[in-house]
Amino acid sequence: MPEWLGDAFKLERNSIPRYGNIYADVYMRHNKYMGKAIIRGNERVETQVTPNMPKLRYCIDPNTLKLMPELAEFTGRVYIDVKRDGFNLLFYPVHGRDGGYVVLPKTRLRVYPSGKIIRALRRMPEDLRRKVEELVGRGYVPVFEAWGSELDEMGIRSGITDKRATEDIEDLPHGVHFEMTHLLRRSGGLREWDNYEPVSPEVRDEVAREHGIDLVPRYAVIEVEKGKIKRVVESSGLHGVKLPEERDLREFLLKLMSEFDRVNEKCIVTEGSVLHFGENMCKLKAWKVMKEDIGRRTGIPPIRKISSEYEKMALETSPFDMAKDLDEAYSKLMEYIEEDFQLSKKGKRFVRRVLVDKLATDIIRDTYGGEDVGEFMKEMANSGVSRSVIGCMAMKIRRCYGRPDFDECIARVKCY
């Protein structure tokens, strides 16, 4: 492990199939290694470093509206895929001392997910599971986006797109869908830090075809040469998206963002796209989806942005556990938000108050059964829940106690 990584790790304990309890140090810093983990060896598993899938950078910088340098200098084919509005999963092997391995799903910051994510994974078709295991057996790590209208019903809230409308437009059944977005390949030893590398989109597509795995759909493929579009290779017309005629790549992408807005006028069916070029990726969002990322005048992020990042965190860590270490949860939430916003002091305080409100609402829904408020609060305090979260919970319960719309009421009562 490189010394420059420092101590930006979080210890995680999991019980995994076949090998039982494991401990892992998960890298938390927001760079290309975010989410990479070192699984500590024991009598059953080998010491090993996992793959990771960091958050995508913007193709166009929200501040300067300049092209991402790697994209501006690229020559070759650019694959413009749909950006799905769900959650990210990769599948990788954990190697045992018995010479075998088990294929596990991994979220961005968890070596092995639990709770709602596992529930959603039960919807993955058996034949797809088998294909994924075959891929992993060949040294690949497939990365999927899980999305669909049924995720909301499972309590997995993600983004602002209308999932049912998207399913209807694409003639998909209402449910949970698993589409491969990216592909990694083993390139080093188990204990090497850089032991996985991304493959090109051409290799990804070929491997997906060989194994009969559905890829995320595509808007277009274009051929570029250092910031200039040489030709359009293909255009799908999906969602009614029409490609701009501009041949300057930056202008083309800016117009494409506006085109995403146009198709979203009646209801939001797409966040935008993910561009794959060489071994690189970046995201291109619709203007109205991205506007909060560039509207930084007040230094206070919108509720939707805070809520969206909180929901992603709640997939990795339970609200109860976050409330027991509020400072850590707040720090993590701030890291996510400050990727897109330059916050004022007022904005930072606002983020913390919204976090407290979200935690209080979710913990009440998950744990409160109508008992005496004072006794319930004592139980929360004895469990180590933050005092500020307890105070917010008490206010919500007292104002909504006995009401037939209790769940809706505690969401309406705000602590910010």
Q: Among the three residues 264, 293, 322, which one is the final residue of a domain in this structure?
A: 293
Is position 59 within any domain? no
The mean-pLDDT minimum among 174-178, 209-213, 338-342 falls in 338-342
Other beta carbons within 10 angstroms of residue 223's beta carbon come to 14
Judge whether 178 lies within some domain: yes
In the chain, the number of structural domains is: 3
Residues 186 and 108 in one domain: yes
Question: What is d(CA 87, CA 132) in angstroms, rounded to the nearest whole number?
Answer: 17
In the prediction, which pLDDT does 297 show? 46
- Write down which residue in 263, 293, 323 finishes a domain: 293
Residues 274 and 319 in one domain: no
Mean pLDDT of 370-398: 96
Report the pLDDT value the prediction gives residue 294, as an integer from 0 to 100.
55
Residue 31: what pLDDT? 85
Q: Answer left, alpha or beta for residue 115, where phi above 0 means left and psi between -120 and 50 means alpha.
A: left
Name which of 68-72, 200-204, 308-312, 321-325 the model is least confident about. 308-312
Taking CA atoms, 19 is separated from 15, 52, 94, 95, 197, in Å, by 8, 21, 9, 9, 26
295 pLDDT higher than 60 = no
pLDDT of residue 342: 76
Do 202 and 235 belong to one domain?
no
Residue 322, domain member (yes or no): yes
Q: Are residues 20 and 156 in the same domain?
A: yes
Whether the pLDDT of residue 293 is over 60: the answer is no
Residues 259 and 363 in one domain: no
| 339 within some domain | yes
User: Which residue, of 197, 219, 241, is where some domain finishes?
Assistant: 219
pTM assigned to the model:
0.82
Same domain, 14 and 49: yes
pLDDT of residue 386: 97
List the structure tokens of 173: 């059944």
Q: Are residues 307 and 344 in the same domain?
A: yes
What is the extent of the structural domain holding 356? 297-412
pLDDT-derived band at 316, boundaries 50, 70, 90: confident
CA distances (Å), 40 to each of 21, 43, 145, in order?
Answer: 10, 10, 28
Amino acid at 324: K
> Is the domain of 263 the same as that of 362?
no
Q: Which two tokens stand for residue 204?
A: 């990804």
Are both 133 and 258 inside the same structural domain? no
- Choose the weakest-confidence range: 5-14, 143-152, 202-211, 357-366: 5-14
CATH number for the domain that contains residue 127: 3.30.470.30
